[in-house]
Structure 1
Amino acid sequence: MTTDLIPILSAIAAALVVLGATPLAMRLARATGAVDVPSGRRIHSEPTPRLGGLAILLGFLVPVVAFLPDDPSARALITGAVLITALGAADDIWGLTPGVKLAGQVACAAIPVAAGLTIDHITLPLLGVGDLGWAQYPITVLWFVALVNMINFTDGMDGLAAGISGLGATTFAILAASLGRADPAIMAAALAGACAAFLVFNFHPARVFMGDAGSMLLGFVIAGVAIGGVMKSAAAIAVVAPLVILAIPILDTSFVILKRLKHGLPVYNADRSHFHHRFFTIGWSQRKTVLALYGWCALMGAVAIALRFVRYRDADGHLQLAGTAVLSAAGLLALAASIYLVYVLEILKWRSTPVVTLVRQSRLERASRREMAGRS
């Protein structure tokens, strides 16, 4: 079997396992009381079982255990993934305090970091490689914990976290394979296949939620494959590509945290200020919102792939017109899409505030009075 086929087979195997395991996870969720009941900030209207993340974990593990060699860092990442899924499942069933969850996330992140899966250097275009030294350990733990919570924050609408994570994992699989990093490519492909199959049950109207067991698993594995597959390489895209691929969860989390800090609220307080909530507030349906965010994520992934494969310099280091034009067009398209979506989220939402509503009513009343005066 050629190594090029293994990531593809991993994705297929993971998908098949998830298709069979998800109904079992739904039964387990109902038996343990891990059911998400509609509440004030929830978008769904029917009680829905959680613990779908257990099926995603099983789908991820089967091909990864079968195809990966006995590598210490890969084994440590898998161990951490299993433990953080267990942590999320405990939260889904019994509920955990934010402090306990954060401590568990740090402990899980420390496992692959201790095994050498670290961001030990930063490669910046035009500037070269910078060694992080001892700082690689806290920085890498912070990276894992940040991604775990970013993906967890996006899991607020049917199919959103699974779709965005699946698209991101697919992009990381392509980049890792192109850089000759087989292990991260296999893990990323397996995660992508698991996410795709889970959408059969999780796309609107969802029959099951992944819960924290799933969202924390997705964030943890994506953080790991981003490091092993791209960030540990000396490629010029080592830093840029992960930031581009993960632009949606990064921007969403940044906006939410800044808003909570602005109003003096704890950053872990749940609210309805995420991107998907804002789309919902301005009247977009769940499907339209999710598909729009899928499109945005796919576009950013395409930009990351273009940065890897489109040659914009020749052997002598001179810029090539065609490659530079393609990359510039891709970047401008991604920037335009981002600006448009932020405009829709912020401007239209701002227009619906009570102050603006009163201004509109005042204008209409004045226009009505003028019209009546003209008739008289």
Structure 2
Amino acid sequence: MRVYLLLMLVAAAVTFLTTPFARWVALKTSAISAVRSRDVHLVPTPRLGGLAMLIGMVVAVLLASRMPFLSGVFEPGEVSQVWGIVGGAAIVCGLGWADDKWDLDWVTKLAGQVLAAGFMALQGVQLISLPIAGTTIPSSRMSLVATVLVVVVAMNAVNFVDGLDGLAAGLIAIGGTAFFLYTYRLTAEATPDDFASLASLMLAVMVGVCVGFLPHNFHPARIFMGDAGSMLIGLVMAGAAITVTGNVQPDVMTGAQALPAFITLLLPVAVLTLPLLDMGLAVIRRLAAGKSPMAPDRMHLHHRMMDLGHSHRRAVVILYVWTAVFAFSAAALVLWDWEIVLVWTTVFVVVALLATLGPLRHRGRFLDDDVALSGQVPKVPAGVGAPVTAQSADATPIKETIE
């Protein structure tokens, strides 16, 4: 555990220290979000935080490769998976940078996402079986398609929810922590003599980069993670979920505790509950209205929270609470019987509902947006026109579908 915590700390520190550099690069390359009527942010803001997140990830993984504790993860037969995830993250980071600067069309962006997911799959990070009654995907082609689909959906779900300062980074940090604890416990049960796990490694690093980026991104944000960051953490989350499916041994758990062993995708889905729900509701809402699912609107979950009367920061923190309820309830199934988990989940759901719909909406000053925003407007390089794109969850009609 101490090794993973060290890597998490290193990833956080490197990301925190390199984020000002990423902000400088964003200003120099005009990767800046404009302000439009449906946007929540009030001033043009650099949006290349994903670059710092990638740097933090690479440094932490390089350090991990030199640690004897994790030597099993970097053995010849396994090392390609590690660099498959890192390489895929680098591809989507570059893609997001290009999209933030030039506002790519949806075909180009989708092609880049498929390329990144395909690269990761070809390096061995691929769905071969599902932990549901020993189901095996019947062909290598179907396995590749399933892998690409899972990765692309995860990237776009995270990108879609990235609509408030600090929202995506905080949600993934909280959910990723629960997922990390799950994979660590699963590895300890399966191989008591070797706690090295690719899934645990990548989740620890992902949580670290999110935590390191959050101080720069919490409201009022000085920089957004942009498409480069949201797609990066979505890809890593999907990669970790895929790699852990091959490490489940249902015979090591008995009774009610066998549930997460048979359904190892339970926790990734729980972590991404809010992003997936937001994306699904948006598609249904727009199709029901006779609009294209690509049509932008201001009816995302985070917009609805603010419409209820919550401040920007309070809306973000309450969505953190909901993510913690879903993610840690799923993770708790490896420790306690489902009856106990159900009771406590019900209690915390009630607390979250009270925070969401209770008097905090209109009374008190808890997490009110009482900070001064003066001096937040970045300098745009001379000769650059209107800054491109908005916060990644609510940008152009095309971007919103792919994100």
Higher RCO (C-alpha 8 Å, min separation 6):
2
Residue in 2 aligned with 1:82?
90
- What's 1:206 paired with? 221
Q: Distance in 2 between matches of 1:307 and 1:246?
A: 17
- Structure-2 residue corresponding to 1:367: none
| CA RMSD after TM alignment | 2.1
**Could you say which residue in structure 1 is the equivalent of 2:342?**
328
Q: How does 1:58-207 map to 2 (within 5 A)?
A: 58-68=55-65, 69=74, 71-124=79-132, 128-134=133-139, 135-180=142-187, 182-207=197-222
Deviations 1:168-221 (A, max 9, x none): 221222122122261221111111111111111100011110110111111111
8 Å Cα contact 1:172/1:229 also seen in 2: no
Match for 1:12: what amino acid? Answer: L
Cα distance in structure 2, aligned partners of 1:140 and 1:341: 37
Q: Which has the larger radius of gyration?
A: 1
Greater mean alpha carbon deviation, residues 171-180 or residues 91-100: 171-180
Cα drift, residue 73 of structure 1 = 1.4
Residues 44-90 of structure 1, C-alpha deviations (whole Å, 9 max, x = no match): 11111110110011111111122142511121111111011100010
Give the secondary structure class of the aligned counterpart of 1:112.
helix
1:231 Cα deviation after fit: 6.7
Contact 1:18 1:194 in 2 (8 A): yes
Amino acid in structure 2 at the alignment position of 1:290: V
Q: Does the residue aligned with 2:296 lie in a helix, a strand or coil?
A: coil
Paired with 1:218 and 1:40, the residues of 2 have a C-alpha distance of 28
Equivalents in 2 of 1:7, 1:264: separation in Å? 49
Write the distance in 2 (CA, Å) between the matches of 1:130 and 1:230: 11
How far, CA to CA, are the matches of 1:31 and 1:249 in structure 2? Answer: 31
More helix by share: 1
Matches within 5 A, 1:1-376: 4-68=1-65, 69=74, 71-124=79-132, 128-134=133-139, 135-180=142-187, 182-230=197-245, 233-234=248-249, 235-310=261-336, 323-333=337-347
Equivalent pairs counted in the alignment come to 327
CA distance in 2, matches of 1:258, 1:10: 41
**TM-score normalised over the length of structure 1:** 0.82
Cα distance, 1:111 vs structure 2: 1.0
For each residue in 1:102-158, what CA deviation from the matched residue of structure 2 results, as whole angstroms up to 9, or x when unmatched? Answer: 11101110011122212222223xxx2211222322111111000100000111100
- Report if aligned partners of 1:231, 1:238 keep a CA contact under 8 Å in 2: no
Give the TM-score normalised by the residue count of structure 2: 0.77
Q: Structure 2 counterpart of 1:31, which letter?
A: K
Distance 2:149 2:264 in 1: 18
Alignment CA distance shift 1:264-1:208 (3 Å): same
Q: Do the aligned residues in 2 keep the contact of 1:56 with 1:195 (CA within 8 Å)?
A: yes
Q: Residues 237 and 308 of structure 1 are in contact (CA less than 8 Å); yes or no, is this contact kept in structure 2?
A: no
> Which one is further off, 296-305 or 78-87?
296-305
Once the 2 structures are TM-superposed, how far is the Cα of residue 289 of structure 1 from its aligned partner? 0.5
Q: Distance in 1 between matches of 2:357 and 2:248?
A: 36
Unmatched runs of 5 consecutive residues or more in structure 2: 66-73, 188-195, 250-260, 359-403
- Identical aligned residues as a percent: 35
What is the CA-CA distance between 1:94 and the residue it aligns to? 1.4
Contact 2:32–2:47, Cα closer than 8 Å, also in 1: yes
Asked if structure 2 preserves the Cα contact closer than 8 Å seen for 1:119 and 1:232, the reply is: no
The range that moved more, 269-278 or 208-217, is 269-278
Partner of 1:283: helix, strand, or coil?
coil
Partner Cα distance (2:51, 2:338) in 1: 44
Corresponding residue number in structure 1 for 2:389: none
- Return the letter of the residue paired with 2:87: T
